C-alpha cells in the first residue's frame, strides 16, 4: 500500500512540475521525502526547487545528498555547478563541472557548461575547443533538443568564428614556406589549413559500386593527363551549335536526370527526382550508345570519339548534354567508381554558376574542359536566371594501366552477372 502511495505522489509531482506548478510540485516531493528520506529523485527535485526559490545553501545541501545516493548521475553535479555559478563561486562551480564530465565525458549539457565557463573566464580558444567537442556529440542540427538549441547555436557560431580566425592565423604563419610550394599544389595546402582549423573535413573517394583501392583521391586532375583535351576544346563552337539545335528541335527529349521509382529511397535526391531542374539529352547511357541522338549530333559524336572513353559494361561510358535550370542545386553526392573520371565541357554558362568537388569550388568557363573524380563528394549550383548546359562524359582514370582497366571492366561485369543470375 505504501509503495502505491509513493508512486502516486511521484507521478503527481512530475505532472505538476511539467505543467509549471512549481509550488505544488515542491509540496508533493516533500511528501515523497517524508515517506522515503533517501529518495534520490525527491532530493534532486527539492534541490532544484530550493534553487528556484533563491535558497542556494538549501539547494546545495539537498543536491549533495542526492549525489551521495546516486554518484554516477552526471546531472546532479552539473546542477550543483549551476547553483555555484549563480552564487558567483567559480572554483566550486568548475569542480562540479569536472565531476559531471568525469562521470560521463560525452555528457552534452556538461560540455556546454564547461565551454560557457571558459568563455566567461576569458579563455576563448579553450572554450571554442570544448564547444567543438559538444557539437561532435550533439545530434544533427535538425534534431537538437529544444532545451539546448539556443546554446548549441551559440556553440556553432563560436566554433565557426574560431575556425575562421585560426585559418587566417595559420595562413599568415606559413607564408614564407608557401612561397616555395608549386602553385599547382597551393590548393592542397589551403585544404590542409582548413582541415587543421576544423572548418572542413577530409573528402575521401566514396564509390557506390567498384572502388579501386590505393588510387589517390584527387579532386580535379591535371589537364596534362588528357592529350585529347585541347582538340576537344577547339570544337566547342560546333558542339554548342548542335546543342542549340537539339534544344530548339528536340527539347522534350531532355529528360530528368534523376528518375527513381515510387518504392525507391531517394535520400538527397527528393527535390530533383523526376524534376526538370536537372535534365539530360543522353548520347551514351550506362555503357550503351543512344544511336538516334548521336546521329542528330555528328560533330559532337566525332568529338567524343577523340577522348579516352571508359568502357565498363553496364556502367560506362555515359555522355550527355546536361542542363541545370535557373536557381537549381544538385546536392552533395558521390559517383559509382573511381576507375573512371568525369569530364565537363561547358557550353552555355551564365554568371553565378559554380561547381564543388571536395574542398575545391570552381566556376565553369565556356569552352574550358576539366576532369574530376566524381567519387569525391561534389555538388553544383546555378544561381543565375538562365539555364546552364555542359557536355558531360566519362573517361578512364589515367592512373590505371591497360591491364588494370581490363580488370576493372571484368570485375564490374562479374558483379553484374552475379546480381542478374537466377
pLDDT tens-digit map of 390-401: 999 999 999 999
CATH for 223-420, among 2.60.120.330, 3.40.50.12780, 2.30.30.360, 3.40.50.300?
A: 2.60.120.330
Give the three-class secondary structure for 272: coil
| Residue extents of the structural domains in the chain | 2-164, 223-420
- Total-model pTM: 0.80
DSSP string computed for 324-360:
E-TT-EEEEE--S-TTEEEEEEEEE--SSEEEEETTE
User: Is the distance from CB of 132 to CB of 198 less than 8 angstroms?
Assistant: yes
- Report the b/e string of 26-41 with b at 16+ CB within 10 A: bebbeebbeebeebbb
**pLDDT given for residue 256 in this prediction:** 94
Separation in Å, CA 114 to CA 82, 109, 118, 139, 156: 11, 9, 6, 19, 15
Q: What class does CATH assign to 2-164? A: mainly alpha
- Per-residue pLDDT 10s for the chain (422 aa) are 456 778 888 888 888 888 888 899 889 888 989 888 999 999 999 999 999 999 999 999 999 999 999 999 999 999 999 999 999 999 999 999 999 999 999 999 999 999 999 999 999 999 999 999 999 999 999 999 999 999 999 999 999 999 999 999 988 888 777 676 666 566 788 899 999 998 999 999 999 999 999 999 999 999 999 999 999 999 999 999 999 999 999 889 999 999 988 888 888 898 999 999 999 999 999 999 999 999 999 999 999 999 999 999 889 999 999 999 999 999 999 999 999 999 999 999 999 999 999 999 999 999 999 999 999 999 999 999 999 999 999 999 999 999 999 999 999 888 888 777 75
Matching fold, domains 2-164 and 223-420: no
Amino acid at each position: 500500500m505504501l509503495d502505491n502511495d509513493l508512486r502516486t505522489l511521484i507521478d503527481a509531482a512530475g505532472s505538476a512540475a511539467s505543467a509549471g506548478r512549481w509550488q505544488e510540485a515542491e509540496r508533493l516531493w516533500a511528501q515523497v521525502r517524508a515517506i522515503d528520506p533517501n529518495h534520490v529523485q525527491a532530493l534532486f527535485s527539492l534541490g532544484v526547487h530550493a534553487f528556484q526559490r533563491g535558497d542556494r545553501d538549501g539547494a546545495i545541501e539537498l543536491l549533495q545528498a542526492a549525489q551521495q545516493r546516486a554518484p554516477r548521475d552526471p546531472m546532479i553535479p552539473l546542477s550543483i555547478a549551476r547553483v555555484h555559478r549563480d552564487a558567483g563561486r567559480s572554483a566550486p562551480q568548475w569542480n562540479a563541472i569536472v565531476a559531471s564530465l568525469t562521470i560521463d565525458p560525452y555528457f552534452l549539457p556538461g560540455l556546454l557548461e564547461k565551454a560557457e565557463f571558459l568563455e566567461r573566464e576569458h579563455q576563448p580558444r579553450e572554450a571554442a575547443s570544448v564547444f567543438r567537442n559538444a557539437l561532435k556529440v550533439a545530434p544533427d542540427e535538425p534534431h537538437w533538443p529544444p532545451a539546448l538549441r539556443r546554446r548549441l547555436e551559440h556553440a556553432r557560431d563560436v566554433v565557426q568564428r574560431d575556425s575562421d580566425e585560426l585559418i587566417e592565423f595559420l595562413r599568415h604563419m606559413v607564408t614564407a614556406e608557401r612561397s616555395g610550394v608549386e602553385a599547382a599544389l597551393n590548393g592542397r595546402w589551403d585544404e590542409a589549413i582548413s582541415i587543421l582549423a576544423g572548418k572542413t573535413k577530409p573528402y575521401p573517394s566514396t564509390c557506390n559500386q567498384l572502388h579501386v583501392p590505393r588510387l589517390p583521391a584527387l579532386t580535379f586532375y591535371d589537364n596534362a593527363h588528357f592529350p585529347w583535351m585541347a582538340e576537344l576544346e577547339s570544337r566547342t563552337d560546333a558542339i554548342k551549335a548542335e546543342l542549340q539545335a537539339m534544344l530548339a528541335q528536340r527539347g522534350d527529349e531532355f529528360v530528368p536526370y534523376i528518375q527513381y521509382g515510387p518504392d525507391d529511397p531517394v535520400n538527397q535526391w527528393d527535390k530533383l527526382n523526376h524534376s526538370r531542374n536537372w535534365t539530360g539529352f543522353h548520347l551514351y547511357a550506362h555503357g550503351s550508345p543512344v544511336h538516334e541522338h548521336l546521329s542528330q549530333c555528328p560533330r559532337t559524336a566525332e568529338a567524343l570519339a577523340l577522348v579516352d572513353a571508359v568502357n565498363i559494361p553496364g556502367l560506362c561510358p555515359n555522355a550527355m548534354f546536361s542542363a541545370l535550370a535557373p536557381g537549381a542545386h544538385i546536392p552533395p553526392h558521390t559517383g559509382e567508381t573511381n576507375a573512371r573520371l568525369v569530364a565537363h565541357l561547358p557550353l552555355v554558362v551564365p554568371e553565378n554558376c559554380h561547381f564543388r568537388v571536395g574542398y575545391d569550388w570552381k566556376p565553369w568557363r565556356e569552352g574550358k574542359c576539366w576532369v574530376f573524380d566524381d567519387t569525391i563528394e561534389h555538388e553544383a549550383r546555378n544561381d543565375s536566371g538562365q539555364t546552364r548546359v555542359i557536355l558531360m562524359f566519362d573517361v578512364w582514370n589515367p592512373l590505371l594501366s591497360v591491364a588494370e582497366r581490363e580488370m576493372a571492366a571484368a570485375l564490374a561485369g562479374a558483379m553484374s552477372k552475379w546480381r542478374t543470375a537466377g
